[in-house]
Amino acid sequence: MTASTSIRIEQKLYEQARSEALAEHRTIAGQVEYWAKVGRAALDNPDLPVSFIAESLASMAESREDTTAFEPRSRK
């Protein structure tokens, strides 16, 4: 089990997290953690688009069993 810590955030941010969490099938805490990870990665990689970072983090979270092996369409 991982440790948790309570933090205070503005009510508006909490409501936004609740709305997004519902749409993304996450907990509110999971949504805030996701935003923090995307934000941290964006700050660490300012040359990458945020959408690319978010998609990369999502793909890294997928289990290996659910992935599809890359198969090139043409071979030289």
According to the model, what pLDDT value does residue 74 have?
Answer: 80
Cα separation, 76 vs 26, whole angstroms = 44
Domain that holds residue 52: 11-61
Residues of the chain with pLDDT under 50: none
According to the model, what pLDDT value does residue 1 have?
Answer: 67
Please state whether the predicted TM-score (pTM) of the whole model is above 0.75: no
- Count up the domains in the chain and report the number: 1
According to the model, what pLDDT value does residue 62 have?
Answer: 74
Whether 69 is in a domain gets the answer no
- The dihedral region occupied by 10, where left means phi > 0, alpha psi between -120 and 50, and beta the remainder, is beta
All residues at 6 or more sequence positions from 45 whose CB lies less than 8 Å from its CB, including other chains: 53
CA distances from 68 to 10, 33, 62, 71 (A): 40, 27, 11, 9
Whether 76 is in a domain gets the answer no
